[in-house]
Amino acid sequence: MSTTTAELVHDQSLGDLLIHRDVVLDGLDTPQRAARTVLVDVLDGKAEDQLFDAMLVASELIANAIQHSSGAVLIRVEVYEFGAALGVVDRGADITAVPARPSNSSVDEGTVAASGRGLFIVDSLASAWSVEETEYGKIVIAILTLPAGPRR
């Protein structure tokens, strides 16, 4: 059975928390740019191997929040000894709207879906990911581990 995001973070498999940063995205014209800026700031020199994957994951999570809810409210970036956790909060309350098993294909075999590839990309790059309810909506969290860190 795969390790869950919560298990990776809460059971200390990622090691000690080194950096925690919340950045408000609500109302920004370019929330992805703000996310990239904070990722460069917190991952540069600490988890550089994850930087480009983290930027792509954050961009996809923010795009999903914009497309499928009222927009991204906040990005949470946490850097641990053995990886990083990225969380994008939106005001959408329905966590069941996020598919448990993302796919890049449509219902018809041999065709590619017009949408839905964002979570497929997140699933491909992240060691684990999950969606959880929050006080204001939901947060989609993705874990990126360093090569020496835990694997799913």
Q: What is the pLDDT of residue 104?
A: 54
**Two tokens, residue 6:** 């919560």
Q: For residue 93, what pLDDT is reported?
A: 79
| Contact criterion met (CB below 8 Å) for 140 and 64 | yes
Q: Is the pLDDT of residue 110 over 80?
A: no
Residue type, position 26, single letter:
D
For 5, the 3-state DSSP assignment is helix
Q: Which domains, from first to last, does the chain contain?
A: 29-145 (3.30.565.10)
CB 149 within 8 A of CB 13: yes
User: What is the value of pTM for the model shown?
Assistant: 0.80
Q: What percent of the chain has pLDDT over 90?
A: 34
- Alpha helices, DSSP H only, in 11-141? 31-43, 51-68, 117-125
Distance CA 64, CA 81 (A): 28
31 vs 25: CA distance, rounded Å: 5
Q: Which residue has the higher pLDDT, 87 or 105?
A: 87
User: What pLDDT sits at residue 99?
Assistant: 61
**What one-letter code names the amino acid at 78?**
E
What average pLDDT does the segment 25-41 reach?
Answer: 94
Q: What is the pLDDT of residue 16?
A: 86
Place of tokens 């449509």: 106
Among 6, 8, 7, CA closest to 83? 8
**What tens digit of pLDDT does each residue of 137-151 get?**
889 999 998 765 444
Residues 78-83, mean pLDDT to the nearest whole number: 88
**pLDDT at residue 108, as a whole number:** 55
Query: CA distances (Å), 19 to each of 41, 75, 80, 112, 135, in order?
Result: 11, 14, 7, 38, 23
Please answer whether residues 83 and 146 qualify as being in contact, where contact means their C-beta atoms are separated by less than 8 angstroms. Answer: yes
